[in-house]
Amino acid sequence: MKLYDYFRSSAAYRVRIALNLKGVAYESVPIHLVKGEQSAPDYLAVNPQGRVPALAVDGTVLVQSPAILEFLDERFPEPPLLPGDPLQRARVRAVAALIGCDIHPLNNLAVLRRLKAMGHEQSAIDEWYRHWVVTGLEAVEAMIDGGPFCFGGTPTLADLYLVPQVFNARRFSVPLDPYPKIRAADDACLALPAFRDAAPEAQPDAA
């Protein structure tokens, strides 16, 4: 497998965690988003949207982290990313969707750059970022069980989404003190090699 990756991409971070948890070997191909490498013709031939991650497998390129994570969980079922109980699966998916659909898109690099291009001051852009992160994390804190991961004793899809979002919150100085369950789940995840090895600072393209 070949993972087109960027060390600080939240979506790519999720996929790296999943690959590590499932013990799947892959080749990392860094695509530097800040330098604009995602817009190069050779990469657009891989992913026409010009985003990361993209996963090349069996002669096919998969894009969009939710689809990639679903594929990995079906292709490599152990350990599972979703619990067996249908109600618990729905709860896990809800937290993943809240982060992946409601928080992350609003503080994506492309969105922040567009706000800058529209003439907004950096301080206003930073406030935009923090507002949506705080609003989302307040809901996540209320929705997860804790103990020690988001939902019980093993990491689930919710944890794969949460850890990259917490990383970004820290980068932008969003206070995490109000979220004890989130902090506990993040600590539990980062105690595992699969999560630590997927961290941005551990990637070959980290700068």
**pLDDT at residue 113, rounded to an integer:** 87
Cα–Cα distance measured from residue 118 to residue 114, given in angstroms and rounded to the nearest whole number: 6
Neighbours of 191 (CB within 10 A): 10
pTM: 0.94
The domains located in the chain, with CATH, are 2-79 (3.40.30.10), 86-194 (1.20.1050.10)
The predicted-structure confidence for 16-61, as pLDDT tens digits, reads as follows 999 999 999 999 999 999 999 999 999 999 999 999 999 999 999 9
Phi, psi at 34, each rounded to 5°: -65, -35
The predicted-structure confidence for 126-141, as pLDDT tens digits, reads as follows 888 899 999 999 999 9
Name the stretches of the chain with pLDDT < 50: none
Q: Is 193 exposed, middle or buried (0-12, 13-18, 19+ CB in 10 A)?
A: exposed
> What does the angle CA 36 – CA 40 – CA 41 come to, to the nearest 5 degrees?
165
